[in-house]
Structure 1
Amino acid sequence: MNQYIWLKFLSKKLQAILMASSLFCLFIPFGTKAQTNPVILVMGDSLSAEYGLTRGTGWVKLLEDQLHKEASPWTVFNASISGETSSGGLSRLPKLLEQRKPGIVLLELGANDALRGLSIQESNRNLRKMIQLSKSSGAKVLLFGMQIPPNYGQDYTKQFQELYPKLARQEQVELVPFFLKNVASDINLFQADRMHPNEKAQAIVFKNVWGAMAPYQALLK
């Protein structure tokens, strides 16, 4: 190979290298822009699914508004379904974790278990598994404490109330001590069915949740 041919070969080689480098650089900003915002996944029942409320007036929307107000990059995906039980939530959770890849999971389930007379042991197993699956995916968890009226029997009512703080302590996750604090005792804050909080109650419910999210405030920036 004479000197002219060799130089021509090197020139083509150099052009190919420079072109490949340029294409690589073009893909770097594209990859950065394609990243999605971190997600808060809400797993709840009718209390989080805006049952009986005008769309966009529930506590989950108030959470979204608060994040927007603080210019937080986090978004909220509300996977709550009216009538949902802990077993139903558990069956749906793996796919949601895979699809949404949340950084935080808000777990508001169990009340319908009690209304249907399911055993405390079953609720405990389902909620524990949901917490463990969420943690294994890399998500932080906020468990919502629930309570039921005393007409379900003193023992059952007490065991149900103690279920949530015990789970939070054992699984080392954050807890909303009582989701309906300052709401449950005021009949004026409920819809006609006397089971679901009305629109006026949503700001109070949101305050309960937001206060319990204090350990995650730095993460939400």
Structure 2
Amino acid sequence: MTLPTIVLVAGFGDTCSVFEPLLGTKLAQTYNLAAIDLPGFGAPPLAGRTTLERLAEFVDTQARRRGATRVLAHSVASITASLAALRAGSSIDTILSLEGNLTADDAYFSGMAAAFVSPDEFRSAFLVRLGDLARNDVNIERYRSAVEGADAQALWELGVDAHALSAAQTPGDLLAKTQRAVYFYNPANLSAASLAWLQKSTLERICLPGTSHWKCFDQPELLAERIIEKAGTG
């Protein structure tokens, strides 16, 4: 029997390594998990500028090639997945958002880029900040390693673009415009602005108390169960 496919898309500067714990769960027995690296972040960078729209085009293409209707997106990749799903003729009808950006306040890391004019200076400063955070969080240590391997130009350009988009429109509104979206979150991890947005929204959601922003590592079995409950098998 052919399993339905879920395309897995990592967050800002990250690679598909963030999803590795899910490969050992029931989720991998229920779906074909297609973890993809985005251009510049584990895969060769794009020719020209790296933007959310161009990465969305890449995700849309990958989903169509695989006949995938579902995308599991972490953090800022939720914006990318939303834009991909809203492209004409997209095969994506369900976005499973792991604490995706809802408001501008959620651009914890990507928002840093706008303060720098040099890609190399931004990545260096970003790595220093992650190094400080990693002292108390093994998940940040893995993330820092992924960012260290990212293309500096792509990282900076994506951060600047994500900051600009979040200032011009509300990321959560993009997610809500898609055919179907399910938001997985721990309220303790969200900004006050995003909690307020979520309270007013009709967005389908699953609360996962006690989990960090890196749910795939914290409680992969629990996350897998909740995804299966909401993603369906058709």
Shorter chain as denominator, the TM-score bin is 0.3 to 0.5
Relative to the length of structure 1, the TM-score reads 0.38
